[in-house]
Amino acid sequence: MGFFNRQPRAADGPAPPVAANGTTRNEKRARRHGFEPYTMTTRPTFGQWLKYTWLDILTMAALGAIGLGVYYAHPAPSRSFAVQFSDGEVVYPQFAYPMRKEIIPIWLAAFLASIIPIFIILCMQIRIRSFWDVNNGVLGLLYSLITAAVFQVFIKWLIGGLRPHFLTVCKPDITRATNTQIAEKGYSAQGFAEIYYTKDICTGDPNEIDDSLESMPSGHSTAAFAGFIFLALYLNAKLKVFSNYHPALWKLAAVYAPVLGACLIAGALTIDEFHHWYDVLAGAVIGTIMAFSAYRMVYASIWDWRYNHIPLNRSNPFPFGSRDDMELGGATFTRQVGWGTSGAGFPFDDKHGYAGGGYGGYGGYGGGPAINRKPVASNGVGGSFHNNGVRGEQMV
């Protein structure tokens, strides 16, 4: 397991400051706030890892059990639906599509949304080589998938809706509404022109009927976006696509490949008529929100390119704006413009010659002098663009 135990190199900068009694500043801070301190530059034993993670494992197990219970429960509301007008015309043809075989089953969507991101996170360790990056990446992915799944099954159970193939699965027999027992329960024809019924007139498979009453939101879309959007955020951080340099095009393609995968999985549901477009959209929104939330829980930022690659420590707060005590500052896959090679992982400070100190790399983050640039301006004479005898196209 030494693969995940990346030791700092000489170029990585000084080790975290150590007090006279041998205690690092991180450890003192953690103990002061009641935490058991640990360093993220070394791999813990299984017992130590379990000590830090057991509550999350228990919570995920509980949420999974709750989600499964709700998933297998009967739909909570008793929905009414129209079948035919008096002339035999189908009232809502959008619920009368044929039932087709799923292009991508729900188990496959969940499998792809979990296994592919985990595989990519592990592949990133070829250069990152950090146990805690794997830990935070995989746990964050599970946070996203599990919370999104529980969120959507509760909405399905309490709100739901009719799937496009509902009437095909229901196999309604309107004459059942005149059955004495059904009539006594109030399930005879209701509403305007008495064209509305409940599932009691259905003659199809009860399990398929229950499933076809829980269309919104799409579970496929929720899982796909929860997993693949998390992966896209991870790739953006590790490849520094939206950062302080001009990256190669393949990195942009790599970041958006998971987004395309999520869209394809979700869009397939409108082809096989298992969901309406609004079911897919609702699932995509839920999955995306959970992915963003989970990523921010385990990494220092989402969009701030200075920090979004750094896994967070459970024991110590992240020292934004300071390089002191910063761990895994170089935990990036890219090696362009100094990323992944400096101890703090910030290739825009005085160590790289962009500023005199602090974060003044481009004159925008304080501390050091900005890079001098020649202005493009007009001297106002005769409308020609000159500045002390320098042509406009030369002033860049």
Interhelix angle for 249-271 vs 219-239, to 10°? 180
Peptide bond into 217 cis (omega under 30): yes
Take residue 172 and report the two structure tokens written for it. Answer: 């309604």
SS3 sequence of 59-102 = HHHHHHHHHHHHHHCCCCCCCCEECECCCCCECCHHHCCCCCCC
- 118 to each of 31, 136, 160, 260, how far by Cα in Å? 33, 11, 31, 18
Take residue 305 and report the two structure tokens written for it. Answer: 């390119």
Spatial distance between the Cα atoms of 201 and 14, rounded to a whole number of angstroms: 75
* Dihedral sign computed on CA atoms, order 67, 72, 74, 80: positive
Of the residues 220, 246, 309, 386, only one is catalytic, namely: 220
Whether 165 is a known active-site residue: answer: no
Spatial distance between the Cα atoms of 310 and 82, rounded to a whole number of angstroms: 55
* The CA-based dihedral angle spanning residues 264, 265, 266, 271, taken in that order and rounded to the nearest 10 degrees: 80
Alpha-helical runs (H) found in the chain: 25-32, 46-72, 106-124, 131-158, 166-170, 180-184, 206-212, 219-239, 249-271, 277-298
Spatial distance between the Cα atoms of 72 and 84, rounded to a whole number of angstroms: 30
Q: Answer yes or no: are the C-beta atoms of 166 and 213 closer than 8 Å.
A: yes
Whether 33 is a known active-site residue: answer: no
Q: Answer yes or no: are the C-beta atoms of 211 and 164 closer than 8 Å.
A: no
Spatial distance between the Cα atoms of 24 and 26, rounded to a whole number of angstroms: 5
Of the residues 165, 275, 276, 309, only one is catalytic, namely: 275
Take residue 259 and report the two structure tokens written for it. Answer: 């987004």
Residues marked active site are found at 220, 275
